[in-house]
Amino acid sequence: MRVCLINPPRVQPKSWGKPNVFQPIGIAYVAALLERQHKVSIIDASTEGYKNLEQIDRATYRVGLENKEIADRIKRWSPDLVGINIPFAGWRKTAFDVASTAKSVDKNIITVLDGQHPSSRPTDCLSNPNIDFVVIGEPEETMFELVDVLEQDNLKDLKNVSGIAFVKDDGTIFTEPRPPIRDLDSLPFPARHLLPMDKYFAAVEENHLRGEISKPWTTMLTSRGCPHNCVFCSVHIVMGRKWRGRSAENVVDEIEQLVHNYHIKQIDFGDDNMTLDKKRMESICDLIVKRGLDIEWFTPNGVRADTLDEELLTKMKASGCKKIRIAPESGVQRVVNQIVKKNLDLEDVEKALVLSKKVGIKVGCFFVIGLIGEKKEDIEETIIYAHKLKKMGADAFYFSYATPLYGTELYEQAKRGGFLRDVFSDEALAEAQPLIETPEFTAEDLRELCTRANLVNATFTRDKLKKAIRDPKKAIKILFRKN
């Protein structure tokens, strides 16, 4: 069977500035498994058209190839099946546009959606007449079995493919849930040869990713799943709650391949819990050093502070770790425990920060504001706490609004309590705006607090600091001025 996997154009808030590129490693994993029996191509529409910006509204851009170019590419490849990944609801429209485009090329093309949004909203996705199937959960094995059944044209066997949903006789059929992949080493390495690797390299030379990535780079996953229960987190929707790690040897074999085949110099480890198994993490670091692999690496999604100690951090530094991110989420322990439900001691955050600074690893910190049950005073305390961490050595801070993504406990809390703003929609999820209001705060309160919170990233002269304190609404502009 001929399969075309598509990373659709993305929707990006204008407030994020110049678009960066991101490597769709999840799609490349699916492609690698499918390649064992099928002909596969990948269209990374958001990267291949990353210079093509189309203003959607006052808050967002569409970034990526135009639909006509996508149609031409599909026509040239002539696939039997088009798979489209939707990482979250904000990209729903562009993904549906891609499905419509595929059907306009040939109405017999089978369309399949996978990703966080289809997994959390399968019925909504299947209500679109251009969508034939939805993959729920981890996609690799499900896509492989689905394509095999469709190639044999044995539609009676569709019900035996775990982890899919489809419409039949005006009703939606859900097959048995597919359990998480237990042995991640059994998966082939991502099919990066199908990705436009040169474009990723060229793009970061032009616009350094996060200001840190400027050399040939890639993204890797060494583990999947998260056993924790943060109310806003959507990771479990696709990857499950059971943590699974690849073996150290398998991880470093992939790194070695990347260095030799693609001359990779920098790696973003996209795990959500890379350091959960300390011994495994130490083994990964030791093997990188033993094999003489000269790389720099980062953890942009963060690691848990309470999994770090000086011995591990020292090994991480020796193996090329330049910067980690940790996630206090709040500066108020009650909020962390009872509202975020993170079960993380803030003292462990401070210990990890001090130790990281000691061994020479930079640290960025994630915070979330506007949670249900949080008070404005709590957010004020969080801002004060961020300044404390800055004095202790943290060098970057990332404040985001609590976003009620479908499939999360936060979404259910907001829906049940009537806290979703009237503007809430799939499109609004892409706008980086407050979507929750409670008796404790308004959307405008959160905007002002977030502006003030982001000032922790700035270095001010005394006069500029006074000006920022007097008028916090203008302070965000000061962040981008030279002192």
Structural domain spans, the chain? 2-174, 197-420
Domain 197-420 sits in CATH at 3.20.20.70
Express each pLDDT in 230-271 by its tens digit.
Answer: 999 999 999 999 999 999 999 999 999 999 999 999 999 999
Confidence of residue 465 (pLDDT cuts 50, 70, 90): very low
Residues 6+ apart with CB under 8 A from 284: 222, 248, 251, 252, 319
Which tokens belong to 188?
Answer: 């082939």
Residues 6+ apart with CB under 8 A from 308: 275, 324, 326, 352, 355, 356
Express each pLDDT in 37-73 by its tens digit.
Answer: 999 999 999 999 999 989 888 888 899 999 999 999 9
Which tokens belong to 57?
Answer: 């509204």
**Quick check: 89 pLDDT over 90?**
no
Distance CA 221, CA 246 (A): 9
∠434-437-441 over CA atoms, to 5°? Answer: 100
Express each pLDDT in 351-392 by its tens digit.
Answer: 999 999 999 999 999 999 999 999 999 999 999 999 999 999
**Quick check: 115 pLDDT over 90?**
yes
Express each pLDDT in 178-230 by its tens digit.
Answer: 999 999 999 999 999 999 999 999 999 999 998 899 999 999 999 999 999 99
Global pTM value? 0.92
Question: What is the second-level CATH architecture of the domain 2-174?
Answer: 3-Layer(aba) Sandwich (3.40)
Range 341-347 average pLDDT? 96
Which range among 54-58, 273-277, 338-342, 404-408 shows the weakest confidence by mean pLDDT? 54-58
Which tokens belong to 114?
Answer: 């996978």
Which range among 126-140, 285-299, 466-480 shows the weakest confidence by mean pLDDT? 466-480
**Quick check: 476 pLDDT over 80?**
no
**Quick check: 464 pLDDT over 70?**
no
pLDDT for 436: 98
Of 148, 150, 179, 147, nearest to 162 by C-alpha is 179
∠280-281-283 over CA atoms, to 5°? Answer: 65
How does DSSP assign 84-125, residue by residue?
Answer: EE-SSGGGHHHHHHHHHHHHHH-TT-EEEEESHHHHH-HHHH
SS3 339: helix
Crossing angle of helices 376-392/443-454, nearest 10°?
10
SS3 398: strand
Torsion sign over Cα 200, 205, 208, 213: positive
